[in-house]
Structure 1
Amino acid sequence: MDQSEDIMSRPDAEDFLYEEARLIDEGHLQAWLDLFSDDGIYWLPIKADAAPNEHLSLIFDDTLRREERVYRLGQTRFPAQSPPSQTQHVISNVQVRGGISDDLVAGEVTVFSSQVIYEIRAGTADDRQLGLGDQRTFAGRAEHRLRREHGMWKISLKRLVLINRNLPIPNMTFLM
């Protein structure tokens, strides 16, 4: 493989992040799963600088857990997502970092971005289900580690550190 293929431009990184956001927002969950490498991790830590095996996380999903999450969201009657959440992702401040560091595999690039996710579930307070009719906003700093597999960029790590992670966060059953 040509080493230049392992370099990602900022416009390409932005396009990748926008496509991931579109897949989530439009409910194309299987296609979202396909963006991940076989060993990919989807992680929302509580403590920004902690290792996942040392502290609790809001979400820490390997391949099996991601597949299970998507199955529950799309194929089962899931009370925590009935009616399902609608989301809108806003992405900015995209930065691409490449090269080899202590925790990067050769050929990986790290893409940092600021993200705001708006989430709403239709309904009213009269429906007697917490969160129905409420709009919630989640903001944070995302880190995507990407690597080439079969000519495609794949997510080996999606880590989103929410700025409101220390506040009560009900119903984190939708995708960020």
Structure 2
Amino acid sequence: MSNVIQSIEQFLYRTSEYCDRQQWDEYLAAFDESAEFHMPQWDSEHVYTTDPKREMSLIYYPNRAGLEDRVFRIRTGKSAACTPMPRTVHLINNVQAEQQEDGQWKARVNWVTHFYRFGEAECFFGWAEYRLREEGNDWKITSKRSIVLNDKIRHVLDFYHV
């Protein structure tokens, strides 16, 4: 089992690096076509929303097409929110994983993303929960839920920040 967890860690590190290097094709390929991407909103001090179809979310894409659309707008310069694109460094630690009854794996990680834009360096931080499916010698993300723990968000928050 430790080899599986190590494999999951390496996959998540690579996926984060693809994002940092803006290797969008490789980043998107890490997600299954039906992968849900959810960044819940805080409902109260210690409770975040859980149903993206009925409650507010910071970001919700029901499948990979949402991420693909964001990448398209980044590449074509049609997204004022990320022009210029910030430089990012994702740090992931405390990776914990367990196999689920359906054969997929649930991984939970803590993360910090440092970013630089307009002469300022800041960071977002939180934790994320992934559902992963083994595919050959690698993994596919079937869902990602990322909880942002920052109280104040002074800049536009996007998928590449988490």
TM-score by length of 2: 0.86
What one-letter code is carried by the residue in structure 2 that aligns with 1:158? K
Q: CA RMSD in A?
A: 2.0
User: In the comparison of the two structures, how many residue pairs are matched?
Assistant: 155
**Identical positions, percent:** 28
What one-letter code is carried by the residue in structure 1 that aligns with 2:83? S
* Rg comparison, structure with higher value: 1
Of 20-29 and 59-68, the range deviating more from structure 2: 59-68
**2:37 is the alignment partner of 1:42:** yes
Aligned residue for 2:54, secondary structure, equals coil
Q: Distance in 2 between matches of 1:37 and 1:173?
A: 19
Higher strand share: 2
Q: Give the drift of 1:65.
A: 1.2
Number of the residue aligned with 2:128:
142
The 5 Å alignment of 1:21-100 reads 21-47=16-42, 48=48, 50-61=50-61, 62-100=63-101
Of 111-120 and 142-151, the range deviating more from structure 2: 142-151
Number of the residue aligned with 1:10:
5
Are the aligned partners of 1:146 and 1:154 in contact in 2 as well (CA < 8 Å)?
Answer: yes
Q: Give the drift of 1:134.
A: 1.8
Q: Distance in 2 between matches of 1:26 and 1:161?
A: 23
Regions of 4+ moved over 4 Å:
none
Q: Give the drift of 1:167.
A: 2.9
What one-letter code is carried by the residue in structure 2 that aligns with 1:83? P
**2:15 is the alignment partner of 1:20:** yes
Aligned residue for 2:6, secondary structure, equals helix
Structure 1 residue runs without a partner (length 5+): 101-105, 122-131
Number of the residue aligned with 2:157:
172
Q: Give the drift of 1:174.
A: 5.3
Aligned residue for 1:14, secondary structure, equals helix
Q: Give the drift of 1:24.
A: 0.3
Structure 2 residue runs without a partner (length 5+): 43-47
TM-score by length of 1: 0.80
